[in-house]
Amino acid sequence: MDLDVPVIDSHAHIWGEGFVPPAFFAKAAKEWAAKATDRRADMIMPKLLNGIVDPDGDDFIANMDRAGVDASMVMMIDVGAPVFGEDAKTPPEAQIEFYAALQKRHPKRLHCHVAVDFRRPDHLDLIRRGVVHGGLKGIGEITPDGFSAADDAIRPVMMLANDLGVPVQIHTRTGVWTDFAGTDFSERNPVHPVHIARLAKALPELKIILCHAGFPHWWHRAAELIADLPNCVLDISNWNEVFHHDEAEMIARLAAWRGLVGAERILFASDQASGPRFTGERSKLPDWVSFIRALPENATQWGYCFSEAEAKAILGENAARIYGFSQGE
Ligand SMILES: [Zn+2]
């Protein structure tokens, strides 16, 4: 079955040149170097830094085309001095300009977001300018590291999003940055969805997207915690990393999420990254789109029932509604 529906990927990343400092990849480079005696971290670093760069979004769009994705929500991450002790070559102001220009170059295809660390004194001005003057569509991705989304220190950013009426995208995967797994699975971990529930109660009008839907250990907690908080939705990015191991389990999970929050609060998403290391043949985005597109048939196989209307909602209609897009936008 081919659902005639716009497909919106609610979570993706595109980077320009020098958006990420070498410190961001220090751990990944060290792990790579440890695999053989003739390898050194400085040998891999240029590959890691250049491998994510797409200077105009054209390669990323080609990747979306291959997968049948109509539009992507593109995140910015500020991984400079406040987190990694070293700023990227391209400062946040210039990165914001890049995202505003990316949107103009690819209208209706790329919807970009702004993220500036709250420990930078001018963060509120930069974020406001990105949304009001740059036309950026939301604030994210916010990755709690050394703070939680409910903390007072970041509340002004949340209030600003609330005032501007744009969603915030907040990371809820157990690991952060290039430490994908994490080691603290308890509520002490600042990325635990429990902190988002606290924030959502304090600002009930703020639109909050729980990026990665608590991947992997908090998938049930994430949905349970926001069940009665209608301002929160789940994005199912990162689940594309595992669904092919056990499609039945993925269907069961989607059904559990639907039971707790409703199909109207589940957003299709991938966390697709830009650059030659991640796009083209290396991208599994087409499989992920096909899987959700065929959700009604895939579900029937395991005794579940997803309607075409629910699949359409998850694939794109929900995101369009949450972002307030009109038809064709
Ligand atoms: Zn994330």
215 domain residue, yes or no: yes
Nearest to 100 by CA among 141, 142, 129, 64: 129
329 domain residue, yes or no: no
Beta strand ranges found along the chain (DSSP E): 8-13, 71-75, 110-114, 138-142, 168-171, 208-211, 232-235, 266-267, 272-273
Q: How far is the CA of 1 from the centre of ligand 1 (A)?
A: 31
Q: How far is the CA of 272 from the centre of ligand 1 (A)?
A: 11
328 domain residue, yes or no: no
Q: How far is the CA of 201 from the centre of ligand 1 (A)?
A: 22
Nearest to 96 by CA among 78, 84, 82: 78
Instruction: Give the span between the Cα atoms of 150 and 144, in whole angstroms.
Output: 10
28 domain residue, yes or no: yes
Instruction: Give the span between the Cα atoms of 288 and 291, in whole angstroms.
Output: 5
pLDDT of residue 2: 53
2 domain residue, yes or no: no
The mean pLDDT values, 10 residues at a time, for the chain of 329 residues are 80 97 88 85 89 97 98 97 95 98 97 98 98 98 96 98 98 89 92 98 98 97 98 97 92 98 98 96 96 96 96 97 82
CB atoms within 10 A of CB 86: 13
185 domain residue, yes or no: yes
pLDDT of residue 5: 80
Q: How far is the CA of 171 from the centre of ligand 1 (A)?
A: 4
327 domain residue, yes or no: no
Q: How far is the CA of 10 from the centre of ligand 1 (A)?
A: 12
3 domain residue, yes or no: no
pLDDT of residue 327: 63
Q: How far is the CA of 303 from the centre of ligand 1 (A)?
A: 32
Q: How far is the CA of 83 from the centre of ligand 1 (A)?
A: 15
Number of domains in the chain: 1
Q: How far is the CA of 62 from the centre of ligand 1 (A)?
A: 23
8 A C-beta contact, residue 274 and residue 15: yes
Domain containing residue 227: 8-322
8 A C-beta contact, residue 218 and residue 192: yes
Q: Domain of 123: which CATH number?
A: 3.20.20.140
8 A C-beta contact, residue 268 and residue 314: yes
